[in-house]
Amino acid sequence: MLEQSLNQLEQLVTDLLQTNQSLHSDNAQLTAQLQQIKDENESLQLSALEQDDQHSATIARIQALVAVASAGHGGASNAGNP
């Protein structure tokens, strides 16, 4: 009876050690994946900020062109009318 209990205990300890090792391995893998995703997120955020800056610059240029075109169009129609 005691021998059987010791064998069961030994098996349970072995199983726990294997589970613990597996969990440590999983944790290390998840930590590495988390860092990779954080890095990717930071890169995407920087890219989005750069695109926002580019879009703002493009909008400003378009507005300036529209203003020039509107001023030129108004000046041309006034020049044709006495």
Q: What is the pLDDT of residues 49-82, one digit of tens each?
A: 999 999 999 999 999 999 999 998 765 554 444 4
Region 35-45: mean pLDDT is 98
Using the CB atoms, write b or e for 45-70: b if 16+ within 10 Å: eeeeeeeeeeeeeeeeeeeeeeeeee
